[in-house]
Chain A
C-alpha cells in the first residue's frame, strides 16, 4: 500500500523556520516527482513546491525564495524547509505523489496533511 505521512507542523512564530517531512512507502520513491500543496483555512488548494525524481526543483511564486524542497531517496522522504514565515502561510500542508514516473503528472496519492499555524 502506498502511504505518505507528513510531520513537522505546529505553532510557529512569524519569521520562524520549520521543516516539514513526508515519509513515503509502497512505491519506487526515486522515480516519482513529489510535491507540497497547502490549504489555508476555508480556502482552496494551492501548489507550493515540487521536486522531480532526479532532484529538479520548482516553486510557486508565492513562496519562491522562502522555501526549499529536497528529497532523500535513501530514506524515501521529501522535505520542505520553510523560512521567514508569515501569518498568511498558515495552512494545512499536504504531501502528494505524481501518478506517473519521471514526467510531471497528476497527483494520485495524498498524505493526511500537517497543520502549520503562524502566530505570535
Chain B
C-alpha cells in the first residue's frame, strides 16, 4: 500500500511562489494523485489531479496560479503570486482498487 509523504509546513511572501511536494513510496511512482486545499475552518476543496506524466486536471474555478507537475515518485503543486487566501492546509491523495484511498499528512502554507 502506498504512503504519501508531505513536508509539514511551507512559507513564502505575499506575491511570491511556493512549490509543495508529495512523495509516493517506493514501488508506487506511477500513481496519480490529487491535491486538496483546506482553508482555516472550512472543508476541503479539490484543486487538481496530477498524473505521473505531469498532466493535470483542475477543479472548477481553480485559478491559473495553481499548477501541477510530476517527476519520478514526486508530485508537485505550485502556487504563484501568493495571495492571503492561499494560506491553508494542502493535502495530497491517491487511490486504486487495491489500496482504496489514502491521504498524505498535509502541508501548512503560511503567507508572510
Contact = CB atoms under 8 A, between A and B. Distances in A.
Given A106-B93, A107-B36, A47 B46 contact: no
Contact of A44 (B34, B57, B97, B103): B103
Contact of B100 (A44, A47, A99): A47
Interface residues of B, number: 25
Interface residues of A, number: 24
A30 B45 CA distance: 22
Contacts of B100: 47, 50, 58, 60, 104
B94 to A, nearest CB: 8
A47 B102 contact: yes
B105 A108 contact: no
Interface string A6-23: 000000000000000000
A46 B103 contact: yes
Interface in A89-118: 92, 94, 96, 99, 103-113
Interface string A41-76: 000111100100000001010000000000000000
B43 A113 contact: yes
A37 B44 CA distance: 10
Contacts of B33: 106
Interface in B1-43: 32-34, 36, 38, 43
Interface string B70-112: 0000000000000000000101010111001111111000000
Interface of B: 32-34, 36, 38, 43-46, 49, 57, 59, 89, 91, 93, 95-97, 100-106
16 contacts: A35-B101, A37-B103, A45-B38, A45-B44, A46-B103, A60-B100, A94-B43, A99-B49, A103-B97, A105-B95, A106-B32, A106-B49, A106-B95, A107-B36, A110-B36, A113-B43
Given A44-B105, A96-B44, 7 more contacts: A44-B91, A44-B106, A60-B100, A104-B101, A105-B95, A106-B49, A108-B34
